[in-house]
Structure 1
């Protein structure tokens, strides 16, 4: 018996996100949920969790089924609580008093350091916050665990920990995980749901094998559609010839045959279904202006520390020169974002001890919170208010980034995480900075955008 069954499920938020979705989730299922940015992955998880009503169709769950949703970001109330207290609050109220030991078991399973466990959740790095959200979702011992982009903010080691954590969950626990991480999906799933506005597809295989099967099915559908259209066109040509012969000869039989051929062509053409064509999610390109400076940024023993003064690391003497492509690698909580914050403040003209920047340097910044985007801005306004491009050019730029024209008046606050990231990267491209600062730029971006994006 299925834990949860979706029948002809559909949801419309301004425009249809998905329709006619059928899915049965069984005990022990490990299902990957894949779709382009803004196509309804997070929304579907909320619908299954009971946080949003569907527009069409129905969801039924076996009596007593427990469903837990790990959302992408903690609430302000959760951020204010110490980590251990936040997790204790996730325990069932009736067992919380004598089962608080389970909090430490979960923290140990996720390898959370002891010195982080009593800190406010909001004071932890994005990666550790993500692990805490996972622990909170599993403490309720759900029958179905819904995970929304669980690998965002995680370093490579933590992604490995997350994979092992999921593998070690009870076998009967079902998981539906929305992710853009192909390797992660291949490592933890055994089924894949490709969410589409119509014709969503489910395969009994992890992402890689499922993607190959989906591509094969799409190619076959495209060939069938082309063949059907050619057959319809052929019948219409035959009908036209018979029509001319019938007119010249006055034959009623040829007139009847002509009508039959046309009707047959219409039936074939109306039944022909085009292959699925995914709307472009846009390709992200980063343009830059050149610099004749020999050194863009110089570090002279920059000290990176926690808010309470605990030393994380020192840079020593380092230089960043034009043309360099530098990746910053470190475990979660080691100070990557705090280091970048010091760089960003120096680039903006603040005096930061240990950092010197070239005064002529024009920098473009995308931080994890995408803080340069205003929640009340519209997509069109975010472009035209920053750049002298005009409405028509702004519409073309937004369309090229994967935003259909009917969405250009939407506010930033209603965009999905991936859509906000694409808008932020479009703005960065138009700025043409001489130096890019990108803090976790692939968070939220879908698989195709990650694959196609590159600097010019």
Structure 2
């Protein structure tokens, strides 16, 4: 066991967060910690890290267990160091060794002392054992995976916004490779490519991971166990999020049936007691039944903590067929070109998800459509279109002196106060919360008020920028249900793949400064991209076999060389370069296959428990394995680069 809770109760004043909870985290477990907003998920993580002390029970932790904890409070950290230096802080011991080795080297030059030489050699050995020669490469790889460009790496950490800072701290944490990684909403500040990269990285992470997230796709791919904080207790489910949903529904159904059966038994027993207690001959039987009822362990009736409220949009006017036309739209920030002569059209009934990596201009395009961002080109707004734009900057438009309910009343929705309070419940403002002043709310709470205002606006065209960022899963489901029933049209930016898959009927991407449209939902878009990737892989295999110099003897040699089309002469330089790249491709392919065989052999050796008895042998084997993994990554990168170049050259020769 790495860490855990043993009969733990924790209270904030009079409010109990968790009661008599026991949870043991084992090595290499992948756990999703879930629960409604405000139930105390982050509190549980803080108990595990020792930031909070339980009211009763004990928090357990292995003597040598190291814990990494990613949370929003880390953003208070600031420094003038580059983001590369901040992330390299994960290798504290390696950096210290480097300084000690440098100092010993200088001393050795001056004295030639044997004791210093021995110390120098030992530290060099330790540096090698810790993989000290690869830390820069490793750190750069992780930062790039999380969306940073090469030029970003030397920029000061303090220049980056909160979301990008969180990525640096995430990189530092996963590079430190603690035995237990606690991640509180790690995908909140990531774009889709970075989320996909993080998934792949964590799937091979050599340690246990506990994740708090509202991203169902992420949880389904990442975890094999769900721990739910519900009604002040921890409930365990051995499966991913989809399994949890089915299993919980089944458990609640069984609990309800057991409750109803027990209630029937109690009612029958009480009727017998009433009938027999007055009769002297049956008094003993009545007393026996009373004792049985007193000892009976009562089954709780199934209660849902959160009422299943509905969000209903109201649309006043029906717009024309075309809502927005974009013609020859261009937009740039200095040398950074976002759009160049881009065309697009939004029609009535379109429910568009605008997806892609951060920095591609998704939010900029949303602002252009809304008319709040300057650009060159033409934007035509259709007949009877009434738009409502939700984005983070909408928070500034809130009246700080209003209460939440007063702010909602000013929207002109004609909803009653009860209806508005019910709607606010969907956005995590229950009971007296609706009477709080806007000025005392956190950034996340203000964002939820702004989103609620967008919902009641009676608009027939919505523009939504990251609408799920501050919602829990239940509220996301309610919003999904509302958007599916919404009679208007919308375009949204989101990194939540589950949310996109359930709401969008079209996908937009910004590719090569143009707006690329896919007519279909997110799952269809993913399937299409996988199909294209397989097709390219198939073409690569065919290409490789076709151009392999070691061809079967009976193969027609003429088929090896690409044939020019349209009777155009072959460019000799291109052909020469193609042959050169084909030879390199074959060499890299052979090296990759050889390295993969080596990796397999090393993995088999590492799987043998006997290897761990000899520390020196194990360390050497582990070093070999890490070097082979790094070589594999480099070869695969080279393989992809040459393959892309080969396709390009072959295409040029065909022209």
TM-score, structure 2 as length reference: 0.58
Q: Which of 317, 337, 361 is 1:290 aligned to?
A: 317
Q: Counterparts of 2:399 and 2:48 in 1: how far apart (Å)?
A: 30
2:359 aligned with 1:336: no
| Change beyond 3 A, Cα 1:237–1:39 | same
| Change beyond 3 A, Cα 1:165–1:386 | same
Q: Counterparts of 2:400 and 2:288 in 1: how far apart (Å)?
A: 59
Moved more, 422-431 or 174-183: 422-431
Partner of 2:550: none
2:466 aligned with 1:440: yes
Partner of 1:30: 30
2:202 aligned with 1:166: yes
Instruction: Give runs of aligned pairs for residues 1-400 of structure 1, distance below 5 A.
Output: 1-12=1-12, 15-54=15-54, 56-72=56-72, 75=75, 78=78, 82-88=82-88, 92=92, 95=95, 98=98, 101=136, 102-108=138-144, 110=146, 112-119=148-155, 131-170=167-206, 173-242=207-276, 246=278, 251-265=279-293, 267-268=295-296, 271-275=298-302, 277-280=304-307, 282-293=309-320, 295-306=322-333, 308-314=334-340, 316-344=342-370, 346-347=371-372, 352-354=375-377, 356=379, 358=381, 361-367=385-391, 371=395, 379-384=404-409, 386=411, 391-399=417-425
Q: Counterparts of 2:340 and 2:162 in 1: how far apart (Å)?
A: 21
Deviation per CA, 1:65-87, whole angstroms, max 9, x where unpaired?
Answer: 32222225862655987533442
Instruction: Please state how far the C-alpha of 1:400 moved relative to its aligned partner.
Output: 5.3
Instruction: Please state how far the C-alpha of 1:129 moved relative to its aligned partner.
Output: 5.5
Confirm or deny: 8 A CA contact 2:8 2:59 kept in the other structure: no
| Change beyond 3 A, Cα 1:106–1:447 | same
| Change beyond 3 A, Cα 1:375–1:23 | farther
Q: Counterparts of 1:175 and 1:280 in 2: how far apart (Å)?
A: 32
Partner of 2:103: none
Instruction: Please state how far the C-alpha of 1:191 moved relative to its aligned partner.
Output: 2.0
Q: Counterparts of 2:79 and 2:355 in 1: how far apart (Å)?
A: 25
Partner of 1:405: 431
Unaligned runs of 5+ in 1: none
Aligned length: 442
Confirm or deny: 8 A CA contact 2:428 2:475 kept in the other structure: no
Partner of 2:455: 429
Instruction: Please state how far the C-alpha of 1:233 moved relative to its aligned partner.
Output: 0.8
Instruction: Please state how far the C-alpha of 1:368 moved relative to its aligned partner.
Output: 5.0
Q: Counterparts of 2:13 and 2:341 in 1: how far apart (Å)?
A: 48
Confirm or deny: 8 A CA contact 2:311 2:426 kept in the other structure: no
| Change beyond 3 A, Cα 1:421–1:352 | same
Q: Counterparts of 1:299 and 1:178 in 2: how far apart (Å)?
A: 40
Confirm or deny: 8 A CA contact 1:232 1:266 kept in the other structure: no
Instruction: Please state how far the C-alpha of 1:94 moved relative to its aligned partner.
Output: 8.0
Deviation per CA, 1:85-124, whole angstroms, max 9, x where unpaired?
Answer: 4424555388368466253243255464323334466877
Instruction: Please state how far the C-alpha of 1:194 moved relative to its aligned partner.
Output: 1.1
Deviation per CA, 1:237-277, whole angstroms, max 9, x where unpaired?
Answer: 2223335xx3xxxx423445445444544544x62322353
Instruction: Please state how far the C-alpha of 1:61 moved relative to its aligned partner.
Output: 2.0
Instruction: Please state how far the C-alpha of 1:437 moved relative to its aligned partner.
Output: 0.9
Q: Which SS does the other structure have where 1:27 is aligned?
A: coil
Confirm or deny: 8 A CA contact 2:45 2:182 kept in the other structure: yes
Confirm or deny: 8 A CA contact 1:294 1:322 kept in the other structure: yes
Deviation per CA, 1:192-246, whole angstroms, max 9, x where unpaired?
Answer: 2111133321233333334433332222222111111111111122223335xx3
Q: Counterparts of 1:16 and 1:304 in 2: how far apart (Å)?
A: 53
Deviation per CA, 1:407-447, whole angstroms, max 9, x where unpaired?
Answer: 33456666695x66654432222122232111122334333
| Change beyond 3 A, Cα 1:267–1:77 | closer
| Change beyond 3 A, Cα 1:442–1:399 | closer
The structure whose Rg is larger is: 2
Deviation per CA, 1:271-322, whole angstroms, max 9, x where unpaired?
Answer: 232235342374444433324455443323333434x431133352333344
Deviation per CA, 1:136-161, whole angstroms, max 9, x where unpaired?
Answer: 22233322111122223544433221
Q: 1 or 2, which has the higher helix percentage?
A: 2
| Change beyond 3 A, Cα 1:356–1:111 | closer
Instruction: Please state how far the C-alpha of 1:53 moved relative to its aligned partner.
Output: 4.6
Confirm or deny: 8 A CA contact 1:242 1:255 kept in the other structure: yes
| Change beyond 3 A, Cα 1:51–1:423 | farther
Moved more, 189-198 or 123-132: 123-132
Moved more, 277-286 or 19-28: 277-286
Q: Counterparts of 2:284 and 2:441 in 1: how far apart (Å)?
A: 57
| Change beyond 3 A, Cα 1:435–1:159 | same
Q: Counterparts of 1:294 and 1:207 in 2: how far apart (Å)?
A: 40
